[in-house]
């Protein structure tokens, strides 16, 4: 499969928690790209989605052969939950773009008082440093 000069190769990493629509967003964007004539490869990791656990997926546009995404390779990080955006930062390449929700959904450990949720300022600071 040859990469077409008309297609830009793009790697998108999606992250959120169960019930936020992370996988639905991945599917919708993949279908839209297919309808536009783009080559699409997608993959997903469900985790404990039914219990509000982490959900991650990748969408690769422009002629990739596998849905594998290594650390530091994503061109775009789409975070549906701020803490999961923070956790997903290692996947973003230097100079990559972040789109993130500011609406927290604290994990069970935070709700039980066993862990602290980082402040939005801390999340934003670390996101800007990438």
pTM recorded for the entire structure: 0.87
Domain count, the chain: 1
| 74-79 sheet: strands from edge to edge | 40-45, 54-61, 10-17, 74-79, 92-100
Domain that holds residue 26: 12-128
Question: Any residues with CB less than 8 A from the CB of 111 and at least 6 apart, and which?
Answer: none
Domain contains 6: no
List the Cα angle 79/84/87 in 5-degree steps.
Answer: 115
Q: CATH number, domain at 74?
A: 3.40.920.10
Average pLDDT, the chain: 88
| Chunked mean pLDDT (size 10), the chain, 130 residues | 62 90 92 94 73 85 88 96 95 96 88 91 91
Write down the pLDDT at residue 1: 40
Give residue 92's pLDDT.
97
């Amino acid at each position: 499969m040859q990469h077409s000069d008309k297609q830009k190769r793009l790697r998108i990493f999606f992250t959120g928690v169960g019930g936020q629509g992370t996988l639905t967003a991945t599917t919708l964007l993949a279908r839209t790209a297919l309808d536009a004539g783009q080559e699409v490869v997608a993959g997903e990791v469900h985790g404990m989605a039914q219990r509000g656990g982490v959900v991650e997926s990748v969408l690769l546009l422009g002629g990739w052969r596998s849905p594998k995404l290594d650390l530091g390779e994503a061109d775009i990080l789409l975070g549906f939950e701020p803490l999961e955006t923070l956790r997903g930062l290692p996947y973003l390449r230097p100079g990559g773009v972040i789109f993130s929700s500011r609406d927290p959904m604290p994990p069970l450990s935070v709700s039980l008082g066993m862990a602290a949720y980082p402040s939005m300022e801390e999340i934003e600071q670390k996101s800007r440093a990438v």
